[in-house]
Amino acid sequence: MTTTSAPPVKPNARVRVQRFGTFLSGMIMPNIAAFIAWGFITAFFIQTGWTPVPALGGFPSADGTENLGLVGPMITYLLPLLIANTGGRMVYGTRGGVVASIATMGVIVGTTIPMFIGAMIMGPLAAWLMKKVDALWAGKIRAGFEMLVDNFSAGILGFLLAIAGFFGMAPVVTLLSNALGEGARFLTETGLLPLASLVIEPGKVLFLNNAINQGVLTPLGIQEAQETGKSILFLLEANAGPGLGLLLAFTFFGVGIARASAPGAIIIQFLGGIHEIYFPYVLMKPLLIVALIGGGMTGIATNLLLDGGLRAPASPGSIFAILLQTASDSYVSVILSVILSATVTFLIASVILRSSRKRDLAALEDKGDAFTSAVDQNSANKGRESDVSRLLGTDAAAAGATTDVRIQNIVFACDAGMGSSAMGATVLRKKLKDAGVEGVTVTNKAIANLDADADLVITHQDLTPRAEQAAPGAVHVSVDNFMSSPTYDDVVQRVRAQQAQ
Amino acid sequence: MSSAVLTTDRIILDGTARTREEAIEEGARLLEAAGAVTADYAAAMHEREALTSTYMGSHLAIPHGTNEAKAAILASAMTVVRYAEPIDWAGNPVRVVACIAGKDGGHMAVLSSLALVFSDEAAVEQLLAAPDAASVLALLGDVNDAGE
């Protein structure tokens, strides 16, 4: 779409995939800090952690008292809800984030598996539905009742989606989890062990690692270990090598937050054994699963050839736990399997990261941080501009991951969002209506509440710089007179021209 | 609910203020007398004005408080004060000052009608020539009833 001049251009498949990837990273990356916090808490306080604390780690105290702990609730509720909220926000602002969180809560409670995949589907979906529902009566609500209608429509939709998630989404994900587990069992029992990585690695990054390991591999491994004194099965999922290789690749070839946080994540993953910490890095670049599968297969093949195995499960999958459980005749094999799998994963992941590095860097420079803001679909149209063709997206192709922006959501913004912006919105709404333009919403907001949902932001010229900061992806227009600005007629004309196509 | 936001006793056709500051005071006193704001609100209105002028164009200014001053608002209310001689509003001539106290969006309906009136030159002329408070209210109310 770089050369064509016939707008609006349909984004091709490559752009779509890129945009999907950017969306995933936008949903995951802002929440990396929460994963790191959880990783530390887990590495320190679980029963097999560095400094076990029953009350925090969530295992029974010495006197037998059950503890809820921090670890379980955080991974069950906090992390998926954060992802759902971020995903919802990206689709439909704060409002989308709220509905996304409500709906995802239903998905979470509907099952016992950590619901990351559910959050990543339900979050954006719920926000998108909210957007559609709002569009049904946009501009038709009598002034003064917006707040009431907004709150109840979001509340009712959230209520329905939470129930739908509880009964609908959870069984699907449970089914997926069971299927992966069964796949792992089949491959293990038929001796096609290296192929087990094909299901184990994707299962892991969907946070089904414990279901696969503790549900399938550990019981089978214990059986084998009772007969032979060791089992390779304990290493299938627990091998810390692939995760290490992946994070090292990010350390050297990643960009932005991902690169900066990767070395710290290595400590949590490789030394602490909390593999979950690297899953988000894969979720935001799903192709990387190839690197993990390659590394996992290498590790398994190494141990098969050299007859390596662990005496008991290594939990968590830290290099220390692995070495502690290594059968006395298997040190060479196990250590080699970790090193080789890390190397293979590193090499494949490096190729993948380097091939997209240029684009990631460009996005980074362009937007300040690719992961938090490249999600903005309007990236090529940032800044103030007055050229109709840009509004129509005809030259909006420079950055590769851009789209042609149709102006559908116009936001008037002012300091408090209660005075001038409301009046400006009223006037523009009337002008659009008089011009027979439909399908465009005009709302008013405080600048502080602007989000990526706005296509066109109108502010008083004194406030435009602030608004540009708040919504860098939108087209910005300044006015100096809210009542009879010629700018309004420009906007009406642009939207009409756009719709005429 | 919107009918109580602007009433004839909050519409004054012969305002006495000569400066922007006086006009804000005049409006603030009306809002206070209506029981819509506390005495703190006037200060917030001056503060907001210093931030950016609330001049809207078409001889209209809409002074109101800052986002932080919402606690000083007891109920939604609006005043409309007309001045025979234009007031110098940061370099712009203002004939009508509409002071706003907005609580939970209750002022939006009247504000919208105000916006529609002031975006229509003929309607502005009508308002500037209106003989009494009741006809001003009717002008704003009519637009309001017509919906958006």
Q: Which residues, listed in sequence order, are joined to residue A310 by a DSSP beta bridge?
A: A231, A326
CB contact under 8 A, A422 and B112: yes
Q: Where does residue A360 rank: exposed (0-12), middle (13-18), buried (19+ CB within 10 A)? A: buried
Report which secondary-structure segment, H or E, holds B139: helix B133-145
**For residues B60 and A363, what is the distance between their CA atoms, to the nearest angstrom?**
44
Give the model confidence (pLDDT) of A218-265 as tens digits.
878 887 888 888 888 888 888 999 999 999 999 999 887 788 889 988
Instruction: With beta carbons under 8 A apart, name residues in chain A contacting B112.
Output: 143, 422-423, 426
User: Which residues of B are the active-site residues?
Assistant: 64
Q: Where does residue A116 rank: exposed (0-12), middle (13-18), buried (19+ CB within 10 A)? A: buried
Report which secondary-structure segment, H or E, holds A406: none
- Look at residue A365 in the predicted model and tell me its pLDDT: 57
Instruction: With beta carbons under 8 A apart, name residues in chain A contacting B62.
Output: 419-420, 423
Contact criterion met (CB below 8 Å) for A161 and A122: yes
Report CA-CA distances (Å) from B47 to A286, B68, B90, B104: 52, 11, 14, 21
Q: How far is B15 from chain A (nearest CA, A)?
A: 22
- The rounded percent of chain A whose pLDDT value lies above 90 is 22
Residues of chain A that touch chain B, judged by Cβ-Cβ distance less than 8 Å: 139, 142-144, 146-147, 415-420, 422-424, 426-427, 429-430, 433, 446, 448, 460, 462-463, 480-485
Q: How many CB atoms lie within 10 A of CB A501?
A: 9
Residue recorded with tokens 């190839």: A290
Instruction: With beta carbons under 8 A apart, name residues in chain B contacting A430.
Output: 116, 119, 148
- Look at residue A17 in the predicted model and tell me its pLDDT: 65
Query: Is cis: bond before A316, omega within 30 of 0?
Result: yes
What single DSSP character describes residue A110? T
Note whether B20 contacts A: Cβ–Cβ < 8 A.
no
- Look at residue A324 in the predicted model and tell me its pLDDT: 86
pLDDT at B144 over 70: no
**For residues B130 and A470, what is the distance between their CA atoms, to the nearest angstrom?**
42
- Look at residue A81 in the predicted model and tell me its pLDDT: 95
pLDDT at B148 over 80: no
- Look at residue B116 in the predicted model and tell me its pLDDT: 82
Instruction: With beta carbons under 8 A apart, name residues in chain B contacting A432.
Output: none
Tokens representing B98 are 């509409």
Q: Which residues of chain A have pLDDT under 50?
A: 1-9, 366-404
- Please provide the average confidence, as pLDDT, over all residues in chain B: 83
Q: How far is A432 from chain B (nearest CA, A)?
A: 11
Average of per-residue pLDDT across B34-63: 86
Q: Choose, out of A148, A480, A483, the residue to mutate when testing the contact with B (most B CBs < 10 Å).
A: A483
- Look at residue A476 in the predicted model and tell me its pLDDT: 84
Give the model confidence (pLDDT) of A265-305 as tens digits.
898 899 888 888 898 888 878 889 999 999 999 999 999 89
Contact criterion met (CB below 8 Å) for A68 and A59: no
